[in-house]
Amino acid sequence: MPMIKTRDGTSLYAKDWGEGRPVILLHGWPLSADSWDDGALVLAEAGYRAIAYDRRGFGRSEQPYSGYEYDTLADDLADVIQATGAEDAALIGFSMGGGEVARYMSRHGGKGISQAGLIASVVPYMLKTDDNPDGTPQDTFDEMTKGMKEDRAKFFAHFFKTFFGISLMDHPTSDDEAHHAWVVAMQAGLKPTLDCAKAFATTDFRPDLASFRVPTLIVHGTADKTVPIDASARAAAAGIADATLIEYDGAPHGLFATHKDQLMADIKDFLAR
């Protein structure tokens, strides 16, 4: 620690705070493990071992040219679990990180995991198709790709306002929080940023849902414009056998900042079951 070497030789930056039952925290796109800092501190102070790491291509982890599809990302997670010796762990993924939770549960049989959490997660399927009518149209993702390629800094300045629900009339978190997220996003590689956006937009996790064989907490905001709730949390709750869905009325996507006290209270309640 703090660097963990994956099976393909990529170095991942990891944090390991506190002692007790492990809680592994997976961050969203295009951020880093730092987005979980407030929550990790709460968990460590509550007697848990909070483990968080920067996804390959993001934060302080290495930026290889490839490996940004969910099979490899789930393998990275398996390598982190093995390196940290985490057992009887809770696995909690925010946004894109929820996909890693789902793919780990299916690809690695949920080894070492006794509880799961999907927070504002992309699971089970974001893309609008004939059999997923509540999904997001491909044109939306095409426009995102175009914006990032043309002027990534400008794109993310706008993106994080929507992400945190910031407008002229509503400030659920500060402009400074959005700026900090922008700084972190700009530290990621462009290739990882684009590839991961494609991965979370197009990966169908519906076949993975049956692999959730542990109690699963699902938390989502009803006003989430980044990952709309109907095709994500509500569909996931319907497809996971032992799921508890908590909806935050009027909440945007970035719950770890806009609703951090409520979110961590709900996570701690869930962990204590």
Q: Which residues are catalytic?
A: 95, 224, 253
Tokens coding 110: 């949920």
Q: What is the DSSP string of 187-246?
A: HS-HHHHHHHHHHHHH---GGGGGG--S-EEEEEETT-SSS-STTTHHHHHHHSTTEEEE
- Tell me the C-alpha to C-alpha distance, in Å, between residue 176 and each of 120, 136, 171, 192, 257: 21, 29, 11, 25, 11
| Conformation bin of residue 188: beta by default, left when phi > 0, alpha when psi is -120 to 50 | beta
Rounded Cα distance, 241 and 248, in Å: 21
